[in-house]
Structure 1
Amino acid sequence: MKRTLVIGDIHGGLKALVQLLERAKITPDDKIIFLGDYVDGWSDSANVVSYLIEFSKQNTCIFLRGNHDDLTHRWLKTGELNDKWLQHGGQSSIDAYRRFTNKEKQEHIRFFEEMVNYYIDAENRLFVHAGFTNQKGPEEEYTPTPFYWDRTLWEMAMAVNPALKPGETHYPKRLELFREIYIGHTPVTRIGEDKPANFANVFNIDTGAAFMGKLSLLDVNSKKVVQSDPVHSLYPDESGRN
């Protein structure tokens, strides 16, 4: 049976990614949607990208662009350095790429350039790294920045009264546009959760792999969750983004 699987923020945790894919028993029939932030965190940032490039040759993959991917791409392509990026994991990517040839870096630049800002499937489910702000939908955004930086969509979903139903006066218009919305970007560990969290019709798959959490996968049809070990336990000599 074909599955649609969504994977949260990886942040350089290649060991966790490989473990997760093995536990999920991935087959070529699966469609795998990656929510972005492949880099910046653990020491395997560049290796994650290399792995995904090869993995996508044998599997159906959709790669969304995260804020860390955007910043790393800019650095790779132009040398642009952002102080906040360096403070939040960017240095780990710079260090990881020291061992890569210019040819390999160019291949990675193409990978970053081919990422998409959002994806809407045939079931009217939206997949986006962070969110969107325009009440008419993501295609109406004036800038791509909200797709990989916005947190208001998740904050709004958490604040929705569970008794409210779509179509009612106070139900948020943004949430009515899609059957379901899948995001990463904001670790659910901030609200004390260790598995993907759901509020209203928004599912957050970022379970804090960059910090002390696990890397998570969700089957969007069955809602079955598969997780890696805590990523920090796979990199005992590192601190990630802690």
Structure 2
Amino acid sequence: MTIGGRYFALGDVHGCATALAALLDALPLRPGDVVIPLGDLVDRGPDSRGVLDRLIRFEADFPRVELIPLRGNHEIMMREARGGVEERRRWLECGGDATLGSYAPLGRGASLKDVPAEHWTFLNERLHAYHESDDCLFVHANLYPDLPLAEQPDFMLYWEFCHEPPPPHQSGKRMICGHTRQRSGLPRVMENAVCIDTGACKGGWLTGLCAETGEVWQADERGRVRTLWLDEI
């Protein structure tokens, strides 16, 4: 990353490929910037296949902009669905049925065998547990305040909701997370954290946040885009 690059966090996409495309087009990305999708890229929304396709070709679309995608609990469930009947049932009940539908060739029922190898490679090898910048901690779900990132248990990183304002992290850095849906359609701004899961797959918005400036871009599945600032919320 070049000096002066900015960090753009993206909330839970959940298969909303139209909203993702509109948001990426709206972000004022320039060489040296970093884009961090916070996980839950798949499930529930109409086009998880399209979401993964777009992220796989991200570097071609945005040369010299770094992509650091995080792992969410839905990526974990999709990967585990290959392990057995019970794991597959759990995933399907949590939105995996919509994901499979996006891989259905010529309208017929799809199976996990229809997921391209490059998508499994992306899910298995490209996703990160967290990311840390000079000022922020980027995670999917939540953090224990008294543990460094490398010691956080999977339960906190991927599954634990952030319903209550968290205490300050030992690093002194602000947490930027997703996972906990904000029914208002707006990011939740707390003293030590910002949650940017704004319900893209539930008729809400997909949020992009510039961590340095506090500027927010939002897009929905109709392709509409709006902008605001964290200090306006």
User: If the length of structure 2 is used for normalisation, what is the TM-score?
Assistant: 0.81
Query: Is 1:52 aligned to residue 55 of structure 2?
Result: yes
Structure-to-structure mapping, 1:148-227, within 5 angstroms: 148-151=158-161, 154-157=162-165, 172=167, 175-189=169-183, 193-227=184-218
Tell me, in whole angstroms, the C-alpha distance in 2 between the residues paired with 1:16 and 1:134. Answer: 33
Which of 30, 33, 54 in structure 2 is aligned with 1:30?
A: 33
Tell me, in whole angstroms, the C-alpha distance in 2 between the residues paired with 1:63 and 1:12. Answer: 15
Query: Is 1:117 aligned to residue 106 of structure 2?
Result: no
Alpha-carbon shift at residue 139 of structure 1 (Å): 1.9
Which of 83, 90, 102 in structure 2 is aligned with 1:96?
A: 102
Tell me, in whole angstroms, the C-alpha distance in 2 between the residues paired with 1:138 and 1:176. Answer: 10
Q: Which amino acid aligns with 2:71?
A: R
Tell me, in whole angstroms, the C-alpha distance in 1 between the residues paired with 2:10 and 2:94. Answer: 21
Q: Which amino acid aligns with 1:21?
A: L
Which of 25, 39, 42 in structure 1 is aligned with 2:42?
A: 39
Post-superposition Cα deviations, 1:13-67, rounded to whole Å, max 9, x if no partner, equal 1110110111113333321011011100222101211110111343311010001
Which of 157, 162, 180 in structure 2 is aligned with 1:147?
A: 157
Counterpart in the other structure of 2:83: 78
On the 8 A contact 2:189/2:195 being kept in 1, the answer is yes
The answer for unaligned runs of 5 or more in structure 2 is: 224-233
Alpha-carbon shift at residue 145 of structure 1 (Å): 2.9
Counterpart in the other structure of 2:226: none
Counterpart in the other structure of 1:69: 75
User: Helix, strand or coil: the match of 1:226?
Assistant: strand
Tell me, in whole angstroms, the C-alpha distance in 1 between the residues paired with 2:93 and 2:115. Answer: 25
Q: State which drifts further: 126-135 or 15-24.
A: 126-135
User: Helix, strand or coil: the match of 2:201?
Assistant: coil
Q: Which amino acid aligns with 2:67?
A: C
Q: How much identity, in percent, do the aligned residues show?
A: 31
Q: CA RMSD in A?
A: 2.3
Post-superposition Cα deviations, 1:77-101, rounded to whole Å, max 9, x if no partner, equal 4355344432231101122233399
Counterpart in the other structure of 2:5: 2
Post-superposition Cα deviations, 1:69-121, rounded to whole Å, max 9, x if no partner, equal 1111222x435534443223110112223339969622111111221111111
Label 1:116 to 1:52 Cα distance change in 2 as closer, same or farther (>3 A). same
Tell me, in whole angstroms, the C-alpha distance in 2 between the residues paired with 1:134 and 1:112. Answer: 28
Counterpart in the other structure of 1:17: 20
Tell me, in whole angstroms, the C-alpha distance in 2 between the residues paired with 1:178 and 1:139. Answer: 16
On the 8 A contact 2:198/2:205 being kept in 1, the answer is yes
On the 8 A contact 2:136/2:211 being kept in 1, the answer is no
Alpha-carbon shift at residue 134 of structure 1 (Å): 6.6
The answer for unaligned runs of 5 or more in structure 1 is: 159-171, 235-242
